[in-house]
Protein backbone atom coordinates (compact mmCIF):
# COMPACT_ATOMS: atom_id res chain seq x y z
CA UNK A 1 0.00 0.00 0.00
CA UNK A 2 2.85 2.38 0.93
CA UNK A 3 4.58 1.62 -2.39
CA UNK A 4 1.37 2.38 -4.23
CA UNK A 5 1.02 5.72 -2.43
CA UNK A 6 4.62 6.65 -3.26
CA UNK A 7 4.07 5.81 -6.92
CA UNK A 8 0.89 7.85 -6.99
CA UNK A 9 2.66 10.79 -5.32
CA UNK A 10 5.45 10.72 -7.90
CA UNK A 11 2.95 10.57 -10.72
CA UNK A 12 1.11 13.57 -9.28
CA UNK A 13 4.31 15.62 -8.81
CA UNK A 14 5.74 14.91 -12.26
CA UNK A 15 3.12 16.90 -14.20
CA UNK A 16 3.64 19.88 -11.89
CA UNK A 17 7.41 19.70 -12.47
CA UNK A 18 6.89 19.40 -16.19
CA UNK A 19 4.54 22.38 -16.19
CA UNK A 20 7.10 24.39 -14.24
CA UNK A 21 9.88 23.41 -16.63
CA UNK A 22 7.69 24.12 -19.62
CA UNK A 23 6.85 27.60 -18.32
CA UNK A 24 10.52 28.42 -17.73
CA UNK A 25 11.46 27.22 -21.18
CA UNK A 26 8.69 29.34 -22.62
CA UNK A 27 10.08 32.44 -20.91
CA UNK A 28 13.58 31.64 -22.11
CA UNK A 29 12.31 31.17 -25.65
CA UNK A 30 10.41 34.44 -25.45
CA UNK A 31 13.57 36.20 -24.27
CA UNK A 32 15.72 34.48 -26.91
CA UNK A 33 13.31 35.56 -29.64
CA UNK A 34 14.75 39.06 -29.27
CA UNK A 35 17.68 39.71 -31.57
CA UNK A 36 20.86 40.26 -29.55
CA UNK A 37 22.51 43.36 -31.02
CA UNK A 38 25.81 44.89 -29.99
CA UNK A 39 27.02 48.24 -31.29
CA UNK A 40 30.41 49.87 -30.98
CA UNK A 41 29.42 53.42 -29.99
CA UNK A 42 26.54 55.29 -28.39
CA UNK A 43 24.79 56.91 -31.39
CA UNK A 44 24.49 53.54 -33.13
CA UNK A 45 22.76 52.17 -30.04
CA UNK A 46 19.99 54.71 -30.31
CA UNK A 47 19.65 54.13 -34.06
CA UNK A 48 19.27 50.39 -33.40
CA UNK A 49 16.78 50.96 -30.57
CA UNK A 50 14.62 53.24 -32.70
CA UNK A 51 14.45 50.65 -35.47
CA UNK A 52 14.44 47.42 -33.46
CA UNK A 53 12.13 48.51 -30.65
CA UNK A 54 11.08 45.66 -28.38
CA UNK A 55 12.22 43.05 -30.90
CA UNK A 56 15.88 43.50 -29.98
CA UNK A 57 18.24 43.74 -27.00
CA UNK A 58 21.02 46.30 -27.55
CA UNK A 59 24.30 46.80 -25.72
CA UNK A 60 27.29 49.04 -26.38
CA UNK A 61 30.80 47.62 -26.59
CA UNK A 62 32.63 50.86 -25.83
CA UNK A 63 31.71 52.01 -22.28
CA UNK A 64 29.50 55.10 -22.27
CA UNK A 65 32.11 57.28 -20.56
CA UNK A 66 35.05 56.04 -22.65
CA UNK A 67 36.67 57.63 -25.69
CA UNK A 68 35.97 55.34 -28.71
CA UNK A 69 39.24 56.32 -30.42
CA UNK A 70 41.26 55.16 -27.41
CA UNK A 71 39.51 51.90 -26.50
CA UNK A 72 41.85 49.07 -25.50
CA UNK A 73 40.05 46.01 -26.91
CA UNK A 74 40.70 42.88 -24.82
CA UNK A 75 39.68 39.19 -24.60
CA UNK A 76 36.61 40.00 -22.48
CA UNK A 77 35.41 42.43 -25.13
CA UNK A 78 35.79 39.75 -27.80
CA UNK A 79 33.84 37.35 -25.62
CA UNK A 80 30.99 39.87 -25.27
CA UNK A 81 31.00 40.56 -28.99
CA UNK A 82 30.79 36.85 -29.81
CA UNK A 83 27.59 36.51 -27.76
CA UNK A 84 25.74 38.89 -30.08
CA UNK A 85 23.86 37.96 -33.24
CA UNK A 86 24.49 41.33 -34.87
CA UNK A 87 27.47 43.63 -34.33
CA UNK A 88 27.12 47.14 -35.74
CA UNK A 89 30.24 49.26 -35.98
CA UNK A 90 30.80 52.75 -37.30
CA UNK A 91 33.71 52.01 -39.63
CA UNK A 92 36.13 54.51 -41.24
CA UNK A 93 38.83 53.87 -38.66
CA UNK A 94 36.71 54.66 -35.61
CA UNK A 95 37.19 51.11 -34.33
CA UNK A 96 40.90 50.73 -35.15
CA UNK A 97 41.08 47.68 -32.87
CA UNK A 98 38.63 45.77 -35.06
CA UNK A 99 41.29 45.06 -37.69
CA UNK A 100 43.28 43.02 -35.15
CA UNK A 101 40.40 40.82 -33.99
CA UNK A 102 38.12 40.51 -37.01
CA UNK A 103 39.75 37.22 -38.02
CA UNK A 104 38.80 35.73 -34.65
CA UNK A 105 35.10 36.50 -35.05
CA UNK A 106 32.88 33.66 -36.29
CA UNK A 107 30.92 35.49 -38.97
CA UNK A 108 28.56 32.53 -39.33
CA UNK A 109 27.31 33.32 -35.83
CA UNK A 110 27.75 37.10 -35.69
CA UNK A 111 26.53 39.33 -38.51
CA UNK A 112 29.04 42.15 -38.93
CA UNK A 113 27.47 45.44 -40.05
CA UNK A 114 29.64 48.31 -41.26
CA UNK A 115 27.26 51.24 -40.78
CA UNK A 116 29.30 53.43 -43.14
CA UNK A 117 28.43 51.28 -46.18
CA UNK A 118 26.96 53.55 -48.85
CA UNK A 119 27.91 56.77 -47.06
CA UNK A 120 29.41 59.76 -48.85
CA UNK A 121 32.70 59.71 -46.95
CA UNK A 122 34.85 62.80 -46.42
CA UNK A 123 38.63 62.38 -46.71
CA UNK A 124 40.76 64.99 -44.94
CA UNK A 125 44.55 64.95 -45.32
CA UNK A 126 44.36 61.34 -46.45
CA UNK A 127 42.22 60.28 -43.47
CA UNK A 128 38.60 59.19 -43.64
CA UNK A 129 36.36 61.23 -41.37
CA UNK A 130 34.46 58.77 -39.12
CA UNK A 131 31.91 61.22 -37.65
CA UNK A 132 29.02 60.20 -39.90
CA UNK A 133 26.41 60.35 -37.12
CA UNK A 134 26.85 64.14 -36.88
CA UNK A 135 25.19 64.40 -40.29
CA UNK A 136 21.44 63.90 -40.36
CA UNK A 137 21.86 62.73 -43.97
CA UNK A 138 24.50 60.14 -43.15
CA UNK A 139 22.70 59.05 -39.98
CA UNK A 140 19.90 57.99 -42.31
CA UNK A 141 22.38 55.83 -44.25
CA UNK A 142 23.67 54.26 -41.04
CA UNK A 143 20.14 53.57 -39.83
CA UNK A 144 19.21 52.00 -43.15
CA UNK A 145 22.15 49.60 -42.84
CA UNK A 146 21.01 48.63 -39.35
CA UNK A 147 17.45 48.11 -40.58
CA UNK A 148 18.60 45.86 -43.42
CA UNK A 149 20.72 43.77 -41.05
CA UNK A 150 17.82 43.26 -38.64
CA UNK A 151 15.56 42.20 -41.49
CA UNK A 152 18.19 39.71 -42.66
CA UNK A 153 18.47 37.98 -39.28
CA UNK A 154 14.79 38.39 -38.35
CA UNK A 155 12.76 38.45 -41.58
CA UNK A 156 9.48 37.71 -39.77
CA UNK A 157 9.52 41.23 -38.34
CA UNK A 158 10.45 42.99 -41.59
CA UNK A 159 7.36 45.22 -41.62
CA UNK A 160 8.01 46.26 -38.02
CA UNK A 161 11.60 47.29 -38.77
CA UNK A 162 10.62 49.06 -41.98
CA UNK A 163 7.91 51.06 -40.22
CA UNK A 164 10.18 52.11 -37.36
CA UNK A 165 12.98 53.05 -39.75
CA UNK A 166 10.62 55.19 -41.82
CA UNK A 167 9.38 57.00 -38.70
CA UNK A 168 12.93 57.71 -37.57
CA UNK A 169 13.94 58.81 -41.08
CA UNK A 170 11.01 61.23 -41.14
CA UNK A 171 12.28 62.81 -37.91
CA UNK A 172 15.80 63.10 -39.30
CA UNK A 173 14.52 64.61 -42.56
CA UNK A 174 12.27 67.06 -40.71
CA UNK A 175 15.12 68.36 -38.56
CA UNK A 176 17.39 68.59 -41.59
CA UNK A 177 14.84 70.57 -43.62
CA UNK A 178 14.13 72.91 -40.71
CA UNK A 179 17.77 73.91 -40.30
CA UNK A 180 18.56 73.86 -44.01
CA UNK A 181 16.21 76.82 -44.33
CA UNK A 182 17.48 78.52 -41.17
CA UNK A 183 21.17 78.33 -42.10
CA UNK A 184 20.39 79.55 -45.62
CA UNK A 185 19.32 82.87 -44.08
CA UNK A 186 22.74 83.46 -42.49
CA UNK A 187 25.46 85.43 -44.27
CA UNK A 188 28.21 84.24 -41.93
CA UNK A 189 28.95 80.53 -42.41
CA UNK A 190 32.07 79.98 -40.27
CA UNK A 191 32.58 78.62 -36.77
CA UNK A 192 35.44 77.42 -34.56
CA UNK A 193 35.65 74.18 -32.56
CA UNK A 194 38.24 72.40 -30.49
CA UNK A 195 37.87 69.10 -32.41
CA UNK A 196 37.26 68.73 -36.16
CA UNK A 197 34.27 66.45 -35.68
CA UNK A 198 31.61 68.51 -37.45
CA UNK A 199 32.64 68.35 -41.09
CA UNK A 200 29.64 66.27 -42.14
CA UNK A 201 27.28 68.63 -40.33
CA UNK A 202 28.95 71.53 -42.14
CA UNK A 203 28.53 69.80 -45.49
CA UNK A 204 24.82 69.30 -44.80
CA UNK A 205 24.24 73.00 -44.23
CA UNK A 206 26.89 74.80 -46.27
CA UNK A 207 29.01 75.77 -43.26
CA UNK A 208 32.77 75.81 -42.66
CA UNK A 209 34.45 74.54 -39.51
CA UNK A 210 37.93 75.40 -38.27
CA UNK A 211 39.43 73.58 -35.30
CA UNK A 212 42.38 73.24 -32.96
CA UNK A 213 42.61 69.44 -33.26
CA UNK A 214 42.21 67.08 -36.24
CA UNK A 215 39.34 64.66 -36.95
CA UNK A 216 40.66 62.19 -34.37
CA UNK A 217 41.10 64.86 -31.71
CA UNK A 218 44.86 64.72 -32.14
CA UNK A 219 47.56 67.28 -32.78
CA UNK A 220 49.42 69.57 -30.40
CA UNK A 221 48.03 73.06 -29.96
CA UNK A 222 51.16 75.16 -30.44
CA UNK A 223 51.57 78.90 -30.04
CA UNK A 224 51.58 79.16 -33.84
CA UNK A 225 48.31 77.23 -34.11
CA UNK A 226 46.74 79.40 -31.42
CA UNK A 227 47.80 82.55 -33.25
CA UNK A 228 46.37 81.18 -36.49
CA UNK A 229 43.07 80.35 -34.79
CA UNK A 230 42.85 83.82 -33.25
CA UNK A 231 43.51 85.51 -36.60
CA UNK A 232 40.96 83.25 -38.31
CA UNK A 233 38.27 84.13 -35.77
CA UNK A 234 38.94 87.86 -36.12
CA UNK A 235 38.93 87.64 -39.92
CA UNK A 236 35.65 85.70 -40.06
CA UNK A 237 33.91 87.61 -37.27
CA UNK A 238 33.68 84.56 -35.01
CA UNK A 239 32.86 85.36 -31.38
CA UNK A 240 31.96 81.88 -30.05
CA UNK A 241 34.39 78.99 -29.60
CA UNK A 242 32.79 75.57 -29.26
CA UNK A 243 34.22 73.04 -26.81
CA UNK A 244 33.24 69.39 -26.38
CA UNK A 245 34.22 69.06 -22.74
CA UNK A 246 36.64 69.76 -19.92
CA UNK A 247 39.66 68.44 -21.85
CA UNK A 248 39.41 71.21 -24.43
CA UNK A 249 37.77 73.91 -22.30
CA UNK A 250 41.02 75.68 -21.40
CA UNK A 251 42.22 75.74 -25.02
CA UNK A 252 38.91 77.19 -26.14
CA UNK A 253 38.98 79.80 -23.37
CA UNK A 254 42.44 80.95 -24.47
CA UNK A 255 41.11 81.73 -27.96
CA UNK A 256 37.89 83.26 -26.64
CA UNK A 257 39.76 85.61 -24.32
CA UNK A 258 41.93 86.87 -27.17
CA UNK A 259 38.97 87.66 -29.42
CA UNK A 260 36.70 89.01 -26.69
CA UNK A 261 34.33 86.10 -27.24
CA UNK A 262 32.94 83.22 -25.21
CA UNK A 263 33.03 79.42 -25.02
CA UNK A 264 29.92 77.31 -25.48
CA UNK A 265 29.51 73.53 -25.20
CA UNK A 266 28.72 71.35 -28.20
CA UNK A 267 28.19 67.60 -28.44
CA UNK A 268 30.26 65.22 -30.56
CA UNK A 269 27.81 62.46 -29.46
CA UNK A 270 30.57 59.85 -29.39
CA UNK A 271 29.27 59.14 -25.89
CA UNK A 272 25.72 59.39 -24.58
CA UNK A 273 24.48 62.88 -23.75
CA UNK A 274 22.75 62.63 -20.40
CA UNK A 275 19.05 63.42 -20.59
CA UNK A 276 18.96 63.95 -24.36
CA UNK A 277 17.99 61.72 -27.24
CA UNK A 278 20.01 61.80 -30.46
CA UNK A 279 17.43 64.09 -32.10
CA UNK A 280 17.41 66.42 -29.09
CA UNK A 281 21.21 66.59 -28.93
CA UNK A 282 21.46 67.27 -32.65
CA UNK A 283 18.82 69.99 -32.38
CA UNK A 284 20.85 71.54 -29.57
CA UNK A 285 24.01 71.47 -31.71
CA UNK A 286 22.29 72.99 -34.71
CA UNK A 287 20.52 75.70 -32.74
CA UNK A 288 23.70 76.58 -30.83
CA UNK A 289 25.72 76.91 -34.04
CA UNK A 290 22.90 78.83 -35.72
CA UNK A 291 22.72 81.35 -32.86
CA UNK A 292 26.48 81.91 -33.04
CA UNK A 293 26.36 83.01 -36.68
CA UNK A 294 25.55 86.50 -37.88
Q: Clarify whether residues 248 and 169 are in a common domain.
A: no
Binning pLDDT at 50, 70 and 90, where does residue 246 land? low
Percent of the chain with pLDDT strictly greater than 70: 87
Check residue 275 and give left, alpha or beta (phi > 0: left; psi -120 to 50: alpha): left
Q: Single out the residue in 149, 177, 205 at which a domain terminates.
A: 177
pLDDT of residue 219: 67
> 30 in a domain, yes or no?
no
Write down the pTM of the prediction.
0.86
The angle that helices 136-153 and 158-184 make with each other, rounded to 10 degrees, is 180
Whether the predicted pLDDT of 187 surpasses 90 = yes
CA 167 – CA 173 distance, rounded (Å): 10
Confidence of residue 32 (pLDDT cuts 50, 70, 90): low
User: Whole-angstrom Cα distance, residue 219 to residue 267?
Assistant: 20
State the CATH number of the domain containing residue 265.
3.40.50.1980
Instruction: Please say which residue of 153, 177, 201 terminates a domain.
Output: 177
pLDDT of residue 15: 40
The answer as to whether 8 is a domain residue is no
Domain enclosing residue 202, as ranges: 185-292
Q: Is 209 part of any domain? A: yes
Whether residues 40 and 126 share a domain: the answer is yes
Chain mean position to CA 61: 11
- Please report, for residues 177, 189, 232, 278, the alpha-carbon distance to residue 215 in angstroms, rounded to integers and kept in the order given: 26, 20, 19, 21
Tell me, yes or no, whether 122 lies in a domain. yes
To the nearest whole number, what is the mean pLDDT of the chain? Answer: 88
Amino acid sequence: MKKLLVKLSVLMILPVMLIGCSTKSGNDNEQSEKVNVMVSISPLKEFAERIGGDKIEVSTLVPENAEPHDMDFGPKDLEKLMKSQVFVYNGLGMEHWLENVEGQIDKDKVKMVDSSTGADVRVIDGKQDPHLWLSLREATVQSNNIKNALIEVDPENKDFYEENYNKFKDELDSLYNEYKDKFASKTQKYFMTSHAAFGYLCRDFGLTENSLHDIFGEGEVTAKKNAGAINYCKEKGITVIFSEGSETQKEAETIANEIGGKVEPIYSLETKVEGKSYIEAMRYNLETIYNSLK
